Amino acid sequence: MRIHEYQAKEILSNFGIKIPMGGNAKNPEEAFDLAVELGGRCVVKAQVYSGGRGKAGGVKLVEKAEESKVEASRLIGSRLYTGQSGPNGLLVSSVLIEEPVNIAGEIYISILPNPETETHIVMLSNFGGVDIEELAEKSPEKIKRCEIDPVYGLMDYQARDLIYAAGIDIGKRKAVFQILSRMYEIYSKYYCSLVEINPLAITDTGDLVAADAKILFDDDALYKNNELLGLRDITQEDPLESIARKHNISYVKLDGDVGCLVNGAGLAMATMDVTNSSGSGPANFLDVGGGASPDKVCEAMKIILSDNDVKKILVNIFGGILRCDLVATGIVNAFTNVGNENIPLIVRMAGTNAEQGISILRKSGLKVIFVQNLDAASIAIREN
């Protein structure tokens, strides 16, 4: 789960890491008041779940409180189109109003799991501020790394060594050490999949300030810290993805026109690829899961049917624990609820109770194109 920059900074601040003065504004009036408190001159930053906001016009330095109000009313409620936002952009639900930071130097720090080495990893660079993936590609030697044992955690000596290796100015080492230790505390406590400060600004007065920050939480660990659930901003998600999450359906909206309903993530990806090779593209990734009930399948099909981009539907079920007859019942219920019988419905069912499932669909009156295997599914997509 992702959160906004202002929320990430609040967490950092709660753990004693210095952030720029300011606050989050949900409307232009709040933006104005915050700007006044800062003396007028401030930065207005659009809050969306995406990087690249500056290039997209989502970050503005203004000289007067009045201007912050103008910028806030321009941004809040608008959609921001960044390199990562997708074609529909992301809704700006609020703006962060901050004092400008006079940057004399920029440090990069991040902590994340490293599946390759089965450890956590800390990355530190004295050349922060830029896109870290770009830096990693062009000058990997400028990023220093340290593997963290998942049982013992970050050792003080490791932090010290890393800071030394990265070439952090001797006068700043202690302060960076403290910030890194606190970041690791946040990372462990909240089961994060990323804690990143970029840049950690060295100000002209020698302070260290988290000028931008990103925190991601492991979705599977959210139950350990219930208070985090309230941080989710559903305006940043595709509305269909929010509905799917409520029903515990694994769904990702994509930009093709073939709605896919599948059991199992691997088979769902395989089905997407088959759809792609037919010349169309998948409108979604959807895994109903192993123990799905007719109700859950019904909700899944309703999500697909309510997607205006969907021009045809491919159902691919390999019954194991999940019985095909239950899936068929769920599909019929969804069509009964929503209508839309004219959309081509291609069905492949195999495994547990496939025959019963097919028979339920045949008797339903729905116009179903039955296929035996994935090749036939690909052809059926092309022809219908």
Partner 1 sequence: MSIIIDEETTVLVQGITGKEGSFHAEKCLDYGTKIVGGVTPGKGGTKILGNIEVYENMGIAVKETNANTSLIFVPPAFSPDAIFEAVDAGIKTIVVIAEGIPVSDTLRVIRNIRSKEDVILIGPNCPGLISPGDKCKVGIMPGNIHKPGRVGLVSRSGTLTYEAVAQLTGLGIGQSTCIGIGGDPVVGTSFVDVLEFFNNDPDTDSVVMIGEIGGTKEQEAADYIKNHFNKPIAALIVGKSAPANRRMGHAGAIITGKSGSASEKINALKSAGCLTINSPAQIGDAVSELADG
In sequence order, the β-bridge partners of residue 146 are 122
Does 279 participate in binding partner 1 (rule CB under 8 A)?
no
Does 373 participate in binding partner 1 (rule CB under 8 A)?
yes
Site string for partner 1, 7-46 (x = CB under 8 A): ----------------------------------------
Q: What is the separation, in whole angstroms, between the first and last Cα of the chain?
A: 38
Does 282 participate in binding partner 1 (rule CB under 8 A)?
yes
Does 150 participate in binding partner 1 (rule CB under 8 A)?
yes
Closest distance of CB 71 from partner 1, Å: 28
Cα–Cα distance for residue pair 153/190, rounded to 1 Å: 14
* Residue 31 vs residues 20, 64, 72, 270: alpha-carbon distances, Å: 15, 11, 7, 48
* Residue 100 vs residues 118, 150, 213, 366: alpha-carbon distances, Å: 40, 38, 15, 62
Cα–Cα distance for residue pair 93/163, rounded to 1 Å: 37
Residue from 101, 374, 380, 381 that binds partner 1 (CB under 8 A)? 374
> How many other C-beta atoms are found inside a 10 Å radius of the C-beta of residue 124?
24
Does 277 participate in binding partner 1 (rule CB under 8 A)?
yes
The answer to whether residue 137 is catalytic is no
Residue from 264, 294, 330, 357 that binds partner 1 (CB under 8 A)? 264
Cα–Cα distance for residue pair 305/365, rounded to 1 Å: 17
Cα–Cα distance for residue pair 277/21, rounded to 1 Å: 52
Q: Which one from 67, 196, 241, 299 is the annotated catalytic residue? A: 196
Give the interface size with partner 1 as a residue count (CB under 8 A): 58
Does 128 participate in binding partner 1 (rule CB under 8 A)?
no
* Residue 41 vs residues 19, 22, 149, 246, 287: alpha-carbon distances, Å: 17, 11, 45, 42, 49
> What are φ and ψ of residue 323, in 5° steps?
-90, 135
Residue from 13, 14, 84, 336 that binds partner 1 (CB under 8 A)? 84
55 vs 363, beta carbon nearer partner 1: 55
In sequence order, the β-bridge partners of residue 89 are none
- Span interacting with partner 1, options 62-70, 276-284, 334-342, 359-367, rule CB under 8 A: 276-284
Cα–Cα distance for residue pair 98/24, rounded to 1 Å: 9
Cα–Cα distance for residue pair 24/35, rounded to 1 Å: 11
22 vs 319, beta carbon nearer partner 1: 319
Nearest-CA neighbor of 348 among 249, 231, 270, 247?
A: 270
Residue for token pair 């400060």? 197
Site string for partner 1, 303-332 (x = CB under 8 A): ---------------xxxx-----------
Residue from 254, 313, 345, 381 that binds partner 1 (CB under 8 A)? 254
Residue from 139, 375, 382, 383 that binds partner 1 (CB under 8 A)? 375
Residue from 29, 156, 204, 273 that binds partner 1 (CB under 8 A)? 273
Residue from 33, 218, 237, 295 that binds partner 1 (CB under 8 A)? 218
Does 272 participate in binding partner 1 (rule CB under 8 A)?
yes
Looking at residue 123, the DSSP 8-state letter turns out to be E
Site string for partner 1, 42-81 (x = CB under 8 A): ----------------------------------------
163 vs 313, beta carbon nearer partner 1: 313
The answer to whether residue 108 is catalytic is yes
* Residue 286 vs residues 168, 262, 304, 333: alpha-carbon distances, Å: 47, 6, 9, 18
Residues that bind partner 1 (CB under 8 A): 84, 113, 115-116, 118-120, 133, 149-151, 188, 191, 193, 218-221, 223-224, 250, 252, 254, 256, 262-277, 281-282, 285, 287, 290-291, 318-321, 350-352, 373-375, 377-378
Active site residues: 108, 196
